[in-house]
Amino acid sequence: MLDKDLRKNELYEYRFGFKEQKSNNIFILLLLCALFAFMAFRTYFVSCYGGVNVHGDSMNMTLQSGDKLLMRKTDGWRKAERGDVIVVYVGDYEECKTVGGGHLIKRLIAVGGEWVKCEDGVVQISKDEGKNWTPLDEPYAYYGEKDKNKENYDFGIYKLAEDEIFFLGDNRSRDGSSIDSRFQDSYTDGQGKTVKLSHLDCLYKEDDIVGIVFDWAIDYREFLAGLPIWAKEE
């Protein structure tokens, strides 16, 4: 009787130990799978997305200085389209060495092969070398309270080569609100000094675009501000 009870106890302990070991193995396997999934997602995220710190008021009222956003890197993905908020790397231009972080965040207005101009605050695009002009609908453009600066916001024709881009800031409330693609234009400041409206004496290239900031990244910027990924600056 005693031997039989011992055998039952040994069998119970064996089965219990086997189940416990099996449970431990399953837990370890699930943990490894979760770790692998996390590393794969992290690799994908880092390769496809980047953080953007906004400095300056050139994108008011869409963006504010201090905003933290998420951009989708353009490497091997898709071309930026008109109306996109883009991040442009300008660090390779000698004229842009004073730009903090070597990056600008602006609104893409025209792409390669197009002509662009602005009359009375209305930006217009031509795709047939100036024969026909189409005004842009720009609900994001800010010309000051009650659009007080809209009638004064003008620039002449810019003709883009196939590899060039034209961008502006959303803030157009006063002269010098944004330093962007208007290299042919300038204004006179309070000291009578002529100030150019672009860092360059030419247009920027499509290859200078390093990222696109989507509308959802702007809408959820407060949530995104908690992510430790911010490096790029305007």
Short-list 219, 230, 216, CA closest to 49: 230
Residue 65 has pLDDT above 50, yes or no: yes
pLDDT band at 2 (very low <50, low <70, confident <90, very high): very low
| DSSP 8-state assignment for residue 147 | G
Q: In this structure, are strands 230-233 and 49-53 parallel, antiparallel, or unpaired?
A: parallel
* Residue range 2-23: mean pLDDT, rounded: 52
Average pLDDT over residues 61-89: 91
pLDDT averaged over every residue in the chain: 85
Distance CA 70, CA 65 (A): 15
pLDDT digits (tens, 9 = 90+) for 148-206: 889 889 999 999 999 999 999 999 998 888 999 999 999 988 888 999 999 999 999 99
DSSP SS3 for 174? coil
Q: Which domains does the chain have, with CATH numbers?
A: 49-233 (2.10.109.10)
pLDDT tens per residue across span 102-155: 899 999 999 999 999 999 999 999 999 999 999 999 999 999 988 888 988 999
